[in-house]
Amino acid sequence: MSDIRSFTVADDGVGARLDKFLADQMPEFSRSEIQRFKILLNGADARAATRLRAGDTITVDIPAPKSDVAADNISSDFDLNIIYEDDDIIVIDKPRGVVMYPSAGNKTGTLVQNVLAHCHLSALGGETRPGVVHRLDKDTSGVMVFAKSDAAFRALVKTFSSHDLVRRYVAFVWGVPNWEGADIIGNIARSSRNRQKMTMVKSGGKPAHTQVNVMSVWPRAGVSAFRCNLLTGRTHQIRVHLSAHGFPVLCDPVYGRASGRLASTRDPDLLEFLHDHNGQMLHAEYLEFNHPTTGERVHFKSHLPDDMEALKCILDDIG
C-alpha cells in the first residue's frame, strides 16, 4: 500500500519551492525521489518549482517500495523477441536499453520480469535473478539464454564457468587498425578510482582474453567494425579491452573517450547520430553451446539491431 502524507505550510515555509519544502519535511527522501511522487497542492497537481504560500495544503502519495524479488513485479513492458524455446531453455534477442534483472533504481521493467510474464524460470538463480546464467550490459543488445528447468540451470552454469561455448559480438569502434586480427589478453579488475568502472591491470584481477577480427573499415570516418570472440566472460570485457588498446566502442558513455573524437567528426549525419544516441554500439550476435539436457550442439544468431544498421548506412556513405 502507498503512504499518504499531508502538510500545511506555516509562515516559515512561505516562498519555498514545493520540492525543497517536502525534502525538509521528509529527509528520508531525496528531492529527485520526491519529484516522482504524486503530489497535490490545494487539491490540484503542481510543479516541483511552485513557490508556497501560507496555509497551502500539500498531499503526497508515496508508492510502496518495490521489491528486488523479480516475481513480485512481473511485467510485459515490451514484446519479447524469442529466438528459441523448449522445456529447459529460452533464448531471447535482448533489446538495447533494458536492464537484466531488478537492482537499485531498476525494480521493474527488467528483462527477467518480462520473461517471467511469458514462462517459468529456474529458481536456482535466486529471487532476483531466476534463470540467469549470464548477462549483458543494459545498453548491449543481442542473444541471451535463460534456464527454465533446474537441470538446465546447473548445466549452463558449468558451461559458462568452463567457457565451453562460443560467444561472438559485433562492435563499432573508433580507429582504423593496421592489422586484420588480434588477441587481446589482459587481466581486468574494478577501478580503484571509479568503482563503477573496470580496468586492465598488470597484476591481480581476473584473466581475460578477447579475440578480435576486423569486419569493415571506414577510413574517412575513422571508424571500424570488429567481430569479437569472448574466450572469458569478465564484466565489461570487450569494452575495456578495446578501449585500453585505442579502439573504444562508439557511444560508450563509460569507456568511449568520445570528446576528442566528436570534435574531429565533420559529417553531419554521423555527428547527429553520435550526439543523439545512447548506448554503446555493441551487439551479441552469436551464441553456441551444448544443449543442457540433450547434449546437442546448438547455436543462435541475432541480426544487427536497427540503430547499428542505421549507423552502418551512415558510415557506408562516408566511406
Residues with a catalytic annotation lie at: 137
207-211: long-range contacts, CB 8 A cutoff, minimum separation 24: 207/232, 208/232, 208/234, 208/237, 208/240, 208/241, 209/183, 209/184, 209/185, 210/183, 210/184, 210/185, 210/237, 210/238, 210/241, 210/242, 211/181, 211/182, 211/183, 211/184
What are the angstrom distances between the C-alpha of 228 and each of 26, 166, 224, 225?
Answer: 49, 11, 12, 10
Distance between CA 261 and CA 204 in Å, rounded?
32
Beta carbons of 68 and 102 less than 8 angstroms apart:
yes
Distance between CA 18 and CA 58 in Å, rounded?
9
3-class DSSP assignment, residue 87: coil
Beta carbons of 256 and 249 less than 8 angstroms apart:
yes
H-helix or E-strand spanning residue 282: strand 282-290
Look up residue 11 and give its DSSP letter: G
**Contacts of 22 by beta carbon, 8 Å cutoff, 6+ apart:** 7, 29, 31, 34, 39, 58, 60
Beta carbons of 239 and 280 less than 8 angstroms apart:
yes
Q: Which residue has the cell 535463460?
A: 146
Counting DSSP H helices and E strands in the chain, the numbers are 8, 15
Distance between CA 89 and CA 80 in Å, rounded?
15
